Amino acid sequence: MTNTGSKSTQEISLDSLRIQIENAEKNKDILLAEKKTKLRELSINVIEIETKKGELDTKIIETQMNQFLAKDANESDIIRAPYDGIILEKYMSIGTVI
């Protein structure tokens, strides 16, 4: 005898499985949305890192150029004789423009 007013165990099991499937699909959608958000955040972080790397590369090049210019400037401050020898007497004093 089947009672028309109550559900059978199979119907209850099916309803329970449908609810579980619906919940699983909702969770899947939530996880996909979180994944997309994380991917966006990571791509923004990568862009920021690449920008900072570019800035650092520029600073390194500037520093190397300044180092080269400073070395070149120091070498131009040195007075060299056109021939070998020993300096016996200095006719100029410090600060004199040559």
Over the stretch 51-92, which tens digit does the pLDDT of each residue have? Answer: 999 999 999 999 999 998 888 777 777 777 777 877 778 787
- pTM greater than the 0.75 cutoff: no
**Structural contact between residues 79 and 98, judged by C-beta atoms closer than 8 angstroms:** yes
Read off the tokens for 13: 């099991």
The mean predicted confidence, pLDDT, of the chain is 87
Contact 58, 52 (CB under 8 A): no
pLDDT at position 53, please? 96
Alpha-carbon distance of 98 to 95, in angstroms, equals: 9
